[in-house]
Amino acid sequence: MNAALESTPRADGFRMPGEHEPQQAVLMAWPERGDNWRNNAGPAQRAFTAVAAAIAEATPVTMHASASQLELARSVLPANVAVVELPCNDSWMRDIGPSFVVNEAGEIRGVDWAFNAWGGAVNGLYDDWADDDALASRVLSLRNEGRYRAPLILEGGAIHVDGEGTCITTAECLLHPGRNPGLDQSQIEGLLCDYLNVDKVIWLPRGLYNDETDGHVDNILHVVKPAEVVLTWCDDPADPVYDICRQCLATLETEKDARGREFTVHKLPMPGPLYISEEEAAGVTPSAGMERAAGERLAASYANFLITNQRVVFPLLDPAHDDQVKGKLTSLFPGREIVGVPGREIVLGGGNIHCITQQIPATGEN
């Protein structure tokens, strides 16, 4: 592993670009856990393959797989997807991979956040997360890029940045006792400013209902571009998301971004509600941390999409809303092709397309 730099991105003039900015590649990890992905991860592997194929039409994709899965991954993924052997405990690249930062000279480095399986001893989803915690360092070592080891337990899905000084997160997640109980909100905010090189952190109260990540922001909101976001929306007063999305909207309506701009908020319909079927639950190996019971509400959201070069890849989740969402995204991303990929198998594991991908920003050399 490469030694961590002793400074911070902010001190060195590096910033995390917005997802809407140009990218050189997208990283993913191959699913195989039988206690998270049903039927020995076969359906999830097909879903990940479809996502990788959709992204690779616009941006190069590298899939990381364990030694035991390497041959299978290579045999089913498209030829234009690179496959690299690298172990991980599960396959949420957004949360375990590095957050990449760039400077004006075209250099790129990575932020390696501490990882404890979404809660550690308090409410972590599995007991052994050593490979997940080491993955960012290993990726940066393979890529021969500098590494900042942040003194903060954080997953990439817990933050969105606009590339112009603003970070959006949720208090539900970052202030959860399973993350950083020794740090208060102002201390966490200071670390986000140092390691993302942002000037303002906006705290939404909560994330999506029944999200086992403790309310990751990327499952309820997405940054379209600076000062413009999409927000998951529910109009059923009996649904818990009804109050959650209104609390988020109230925050966005009273806050301004780092450059003093008011937010334009676009509402995305909530799919479903969706629930795990008996057949789906029966295919999962029981484990202590991850509950996959028939009838459990899924944390399904159309906001969990990936913006990449010339494309937005979004999850198809509900025939009643899929076309409406595609139309909305088409209007919000002129010049980008909107591509839907079946997302149910991914949400069964606890996330979606944004959660299983991590973009590497382009530099002046790309």
Which of the following is catalytic: 88, 167, 234, 355? 355
* 124 inside domain: yes
* 2 inside domain: no
Q: Give the pLDDT of residue 249.
A: 98
Q: Give the pLDDT of residue 366.
A: 54
Nearest to 198 by CA among 208, 188, 207: 188
* 4 inside domain: no
Average pLDDT over residues 270-285: 96
Q: What is the rounded CA–CA span in Å between residue 86 and residue 16?
A: 24
* 92 inside domain: yes
* 117 inside domain: yes
**CATH, residue 267:** 3.75.10.10
How many other C-beta atoms lie within 10 A of the C-beta of residue 211? 24
Q: What is the pTM of this model?
A: 0.97
Average pLDDT over residues 335-357: 97
**pLDDT for 342 beyond 80:** yes
Q: What secondary structure letter does DSSP report for 205?
A: S
* 3 inside domain: no
> Do the Cβ atoms of 180 and 152 come closer than 8 Å?
yes
* 276 inside domain: yes
* 265 inside domain: yes
User: What token pair was written down for 332?
Assistant: 């919000």
Q: How many independent structural domains does the chain possess?
A: 1
Active site annotation includes 245: no
Write out pLDDT tens, residues 200-222: 999 999 999 999 999 999 999 99
Q: Give the pLDDT of residue 1.
A: 55
Q: Give the pLDDT of residue 289.
A: 79
**pLDDT for 147 beyond 70:** yes
Q: Give the pLDDT of residue 291.
A: 78
Enumerate the H helices of 13-149 as residue ranges. Answer: 42-56, 70-76, 93-96, 120-123, 130-143
Write out pLDDT tens, residues 91-120: 999 999 999 999 999 999 999 999 999 999
Distances in Å between the Cα of 155 and the Cα atoms of 131, 174, 225, 325 are: 14, 9, 21, 26
Write out pLDDT tens, residues 287-331: 877 878 899 999 999 999 999 999 999 999 999 999 999 999 999
Q: The domain containing residue 73 runs over which residues?
A: 9-361
Q: Give the pLDDT of residue 287.
A: 84
Q: Give the pLDDT of residue 365.
A: 62
Write out pLDDT tens, residues 115-137: 999 999 999 999 999 999 999 99
Exposed / middle / buried, residue 287 (Cβ in 10 Å: 0-12, 13-18, 19+): middle
